[in-house]
């Protein structure tokens, strides 16, 4: 049965009632309990204590209760969240209370039919690959010990207080901003309002009553804040195709920005005052500028291999070291554990701050954008345009193509061998193989090919100073794939 349970880079996910059953949740939790006894946290960390949380998905609370009870039976002191909460709350609680770690019941941004388990460790971030390897190795084993305990606590408020220390909440409140929040029915619902100490009005669609008049302080209105395990028929991922509801509200012209989060609130999507999606690439660059240039934060910047070179340009102008990692926030988090990182991020909207936790945080990063907006006192589109005027605008897109794995592998080998160098233009400078194969061109354009190791999918990424070249190169890449 162990073959039914496969661990990815951030835990185990499966379809509810198929692979994700109470029986398999028990098996994974039992393996976590056994593996936890082999971990070696630093002195001062309670190696016998774990925290358990859950999101708003179907039966997540019931699954979390099962997880907590199994860990108690294994002899652990278990803290169970008394309400749905963001994944990073588990990381924060483990770090703040100096616990061995925690388990989060969530499938993050995946479709509603999925659920999953994430393991978080004492340093305030996701479990390391070797931790998941140990959990996988102990599948089928069970530990029963005396002395375990289980209690429910409100861990959410402590987390909110923690991120509040890293935000100028007064500046945001006094900026008289009109902010729309779209949690896509996830656990971020109400959190920006609570952090700002504002009254929250829950409704399916809200236009605040002060529209057209001078408001005395910032207001945060919400859509899709109610519990809906089906997420309203969309995937709870804050990317353009899932944010049409928020974009329609933004067309009223009554809001300065929209903060959008995924199902477990560790990812961020931003809409400007026109309802236009502002890519995570631009948000990472903008926040790096704000934190280092304006707030005088000291440290370094990190981005993943598939993320925009705009961030590289910003780091160079700021005179700070830029790190580029393989794709996946876990590599960003690894650097946060060993380096002084101001900000790190990935193209999927995961953004973290080294001064808080080595963890993605869609709530903190969303309100940091609001603080940035409050500081500059300009429309978000103008702020972004000013950044692009200073550093140069770059155009970006990617294609996720379903093709047989062997076909994708043939294309990758051709690219690696240089057989297709002349296809994409005469100005190829070099190729990089940090994660997939990237072709770099003289004009600043690049093309990245990266196939999945487990699914028949190949992802092709492209960025260029010229919008037309992006689509042209992606189309040529697709044609070469189909000819392979």
389-404 residue pLDDT tens? 999 999 999 999 999 9
For the cut 50, the answer to whether the pLDDT of residue 2 exceeds it is no
**What pLDDT shows up at residue 422?**
85
In a domain? residue 374 = no
For the cut 80, the answer to whether the pLDDT of residue 207 exceeds it is no
Mark which of 121, 155, 189 sits at the end of a domain.
155
* 37 and 95 part of one domain: yes
**What pLDDT shows up at residue 3?**
52
In a domain? residue 369 = no
* 122 and 24 part of one domain: yes
For the cut 60, the answer to whether the pLDDT of residue 1 exceeds it is no
**What pLDDT shows up at residue 424?**
85
Number of compact structural domains in the chain: 4
Q: How far apart are CA 61 and CA 133, in angstroms?
A: 26
User: What are the start-end ranges of the H helices in 213-325?
Assistant: 244-250, 280-289, 310-318
In a domain? residue 367 = no
In a domain? residue 222 = yes
For the cut 50, the answer to whether the pLDDT of residue 212 exceeds it is no
* 262 and 286 part of one domain: no
For the cut 90, the answer to whether the pLDDT of residue 454 exceeds it is no
Strand partners, 451: 458
For the cut 70, the answer to whether the pLDDT of residue 134 exceeds it is yes
Strand partners, 180: 221, 258
- Which class for 417: exposed (0-12), middle (13-18), buried (19 or more C-beta within 10 A)? exposed
For the cut 50, the answer to whether the pLDDT of residue 203 exceeds it is no
In a domain? residue 161 = no
In a domain? residue 380 = no
**What pLDDT shows up at residue 199?**
55
Q: Are 231 and 153 in contact (CB under 8 A)?
A: no
Q: What is the mean pLDDT of residues 272-283?
A: 98
37-75 residue pLDDT tens? 999 999 999 999 999 999 999 999 999 999 999 999 999
Mark which of 360, 384, 405 sits at the end of a domain.
360
**What pLDDT shows up at residue 215?**
67
Query: 69 or 129, which is more confident?
Result: 69
For the cut 60, the answer to whether the pLDDT of residue 476 exceeds it is yes
* 231 and 343 part of one domain: no
* 273 and 284 part of one domain: no
Q: Are 301 and 321 in contact (CB under 8 A)?
A: yes
Q: Are 151 and 80 in contact (CB under 8 A)?
A: yes
For the cut 70, the answer to whether the pLDDT of residue 272 exceeds it is yes
Q: Residue 24's pLDDT band (boundaries 50, 70, 90)?
A: very high
For the cut 70, the answer to whether the pLDDT of residue 355 exceeds it is yes
Q: Residue 10's pLDDT band (boundaries 50, 70, 90)?
A: confident
Mark which of 277, 294, 325 sits at the end of a domain.
277
**What pLDDT shows up at residue 198?**
78
Residue linked to tokens 């090919």: 449
CATH number, residue 424 = 3.30.310.50
* 446 and 463 part of one domain: yes
In a domain? residue 382 = no
* 30 and 65 part of one domain: yes
Q: Percentage of the chain with pLDDT > 70? A: 96
* Per-chain mean pLDDT for the chain: 94
In a domain? residue 140 = yes
Mutual angle of helices 467-482 and 405-417, in 10-degree steps: 120
* 129 and 43 part of one domain: yes
Q: How far apart are CA 467 and CA 456, in angstroms?
A: 28
* 104 and 23 part of one domain: yes
* 99 and 232 part of one domain: no
228-264 residue pLDDT tens? 999 999 999 999 999 999 999 999 999 999 999 999 9
* 25 and 113 part of one domain: yes
Q: Are 481 and 458 in contact (CB under 8 A)?
A: yes
**What pLDDT shows up at residue 484?**
87
138-186 residue pLDDT tens? 999 999 999 999 999 999 999 999 999 999 999 999 999 999 999 999 9
Query: 421 or 82, which is more confident?
Result: 82
For the cut 60, the answer to whether the pLDDT of residue 201 exceeds it is no
Q: Please give the residue range of the domain that contains residue 94.
A: 2-155
CATH number, residue 181 = 3.40.120.10
Q: Residue 214's pLDDT band (boundaries 50, 70, 90)?
A: low
* 248 and 285 part of one domain: no
């Amino acid at each position: 049965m162990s073959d039914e349970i496969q661990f990815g880079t951030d835990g185990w996910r499966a379809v509810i009632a198929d692979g994700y059953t109470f029986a398999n949740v028990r098996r994974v939790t039992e393996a976590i309990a056994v593996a936890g006894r082999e971990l070696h946290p630093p002195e001062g960390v309670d190696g016998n204590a774990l925290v358990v949380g859950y999101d708003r998905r179907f039966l997540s609370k019931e699954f979390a209760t099962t997880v907590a009870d199994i860990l108690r039976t294994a002899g652990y002191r278990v803290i169970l969240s008394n309400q749905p909460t963001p994944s990073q709350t588990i990381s924060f609680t483990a770090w703040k209370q100096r616990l061995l770690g925690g388990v989060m019941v969530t499938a993050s941004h995946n479709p509603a039919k999925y659920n999953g388990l994430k393991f978080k460790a004492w340093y305030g971030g996701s479990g390391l690959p070797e931790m998941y390897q140990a959990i996988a190795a102990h599948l089928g084993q069970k530990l029963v010990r005396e002395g375990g305990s289980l209690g429910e606590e409100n861990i959410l408020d402590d987390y909110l207080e923690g991120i509040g220390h890293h935000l100028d909440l007064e500046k945001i409140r006094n900026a008289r901003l009109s902010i729309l929040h779209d949690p896509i029915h996830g656990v971020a619902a109400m959190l920006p309002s609570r952090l700002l100490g504002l009254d929250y009005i829950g409704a399916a669609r809200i236009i605040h009553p002060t529209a057209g008049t001078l408001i005395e302080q910032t207001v945060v209105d919400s859509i899709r804040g109610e519990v809906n395990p089906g997420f309203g028929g969309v995937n709870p991922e804050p990317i353009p195709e899932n944010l049409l509801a928020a974009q329609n509200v933004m067309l009223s012209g009554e809001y300065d920005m929209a903060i959008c989060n995924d199902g477990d609130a560790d990812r961020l999507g931003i809409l400007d005052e026109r309802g236009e999606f502002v890519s995570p690439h631009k948000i990472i660059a903008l926040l790096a500028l704000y934190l280092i240039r304006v707030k005088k934060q000291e440290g370094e910047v990190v981005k993943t291999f598939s993320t925009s070179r705009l961030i590289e340009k910003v780091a160079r102008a700021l005179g700070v070291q830029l790190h580029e990692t393989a794709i996946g926030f876990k590599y960003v988090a690894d650097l946060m554990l060993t380096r002084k990182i101001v900000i790190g991020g990935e193209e999927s909207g995961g953004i973290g701050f080294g001064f808080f936790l080595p963890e993605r945080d869609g709530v903190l990063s969303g309100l940091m954008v609001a603080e940035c907006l409050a500081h500059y006192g300009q429309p978000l589109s103008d702020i972004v345009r000013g950044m692009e005027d200073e550093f140069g605008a770059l155009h970006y897109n990617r294609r996720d193509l379903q093709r047989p794995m062997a076909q994708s592998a043939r294309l990758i080998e051709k690219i690696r061998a240089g057989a297709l160098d002349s296809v994409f233009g005469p100005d190829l400078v070099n190729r990089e193989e940090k994660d997939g194969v990237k072709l770099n061109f003289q004009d600043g354009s690049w093309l990245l090919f990266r196939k999945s190791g487990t699914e028949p999918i190949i992802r092709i990424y492209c960025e260029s100073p010229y919008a037309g070249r992006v689509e042209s190169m992606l189309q040529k890449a697709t044609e070469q794939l189909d000819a392979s």
